[in-house]
Structure 1
Amino acid sequence: MIIAIDGPAASGKGTLGRRIAAHYGLRHLDTGLLYRAVALKLIHRDMLDDADAGAEEARALDPAFLADPMLRSEAAGAGASIVSVYPQVRQALLEFQRRFASEAPGAVLDGRDIGTVICPDADAKLFVIASAEERARRRALELRGRGEDVDEAAILADIRARDHRDMSRANAPLKAADDAVTLDTTALDADAAFAAAVAIVDRLVVKARTA
């Protein structure tokens, strides 16, 4: 079984992805970490604006690097939104994601183009959204919890800028797949969002298997 979860930054799709994977006994891949990893490598080389260097880093990416805590930093997140626009980087990471999804017993992948590009035949597709203000609040809470200084207004501005880049890029823009179910988590806590997501997946999987 393959479950695709897409949505904008800080919408809650990563938390949902991990919990849904555990619930169904599947593996989980936060595909945003792939782009964050490439971005962080480029930041260290002062080459964030070099698409060819990004593709080079993507092809050489060590999966073990995905555990680096620096990938959760704001710098890596902002950089990921930049490098994800590069077609060379997207192509280099495409096969990595598809191989992960195809391995038994299946997987939950969350990102921005899972249901539309990476796994268009996924058994269930969710498009997770929340208001920009709520997403900024959540991100600020997360950063404060890690002891970081927070400027919530700056976080909100960054989220809006990232939304614009993600939705307007020519290659695999952020959008809901035609057969995805949209889940608005603005007014939901983590447990309520999880319960709603599982109900959606159960319904979609039963529908697919009885079609």
Structure 2
Amino acid sequence: MDVSSPEAWDESFGTDKDRVEGYALRGADTVLRWFLPIPLSDPPRSLSWGMAARISNLSLSPQVTWKDIADAWSGAGHSELLTQPMGTVDHRSMDALLSTLAGVVGLEEEVEYAVWEGYADMAVLLAHTSSAPADPSRFLTQGGVRTFTAPLGTLSMFTAEEGRHFPSAVWLRDHHLAIAQPIYNDSCYISGPRDVCETLCADDDIDLIEIDPSLLLPSGVVMD
């Protein structure tokens, strides 16, 4: 795996990490909030935010918070407790994402990854890559970001079932398309061309809604 330039990351993404724009490409046509699957334990499975909202009589909006979902779920009398997503994606959502992206770029195309060293599950991966020694310093305020390039299909390794967090960012630079997230967050942010974003939104297995990048991050556990 080859390295990618930290400076390029700093210059291409927004700098206000309290807002959605901090995880979106500058000048992108469209920015989407991707609600990460809610893990359930008995039996092990995932629930979409959209489904949780519908059966709890809550309207899913771009700014809905995890507390909104959890309170509505509890108020509707559901006995099973919801667990907040913490930066992980299940196989089903990943397969849907890659299926759409493969139609845009192909799974063998080299794309750029940023992963956070603070996730314990990244240690083995990073030990076997020639990841960049310098951080994209402003991409995550926590630091500890390593960058490398690899085929888009490599993204299939980053699922909850594989015991790994979703990358801090995946950047399809030649297509002006990116997926990025804060640390331990319940959402990712997809930024890119409107036609690609509309195609992604058409897939019911990916829980997406368009969001104004100038908004404050609506939900999640964000480490300082």
Return the TM-score normalized by structure 2: 0.29
- Flag the structure with higher helix content: 1
Return the TM-score normalized by structure 1: 0.30
- Flag the structure with higher strand content: 2
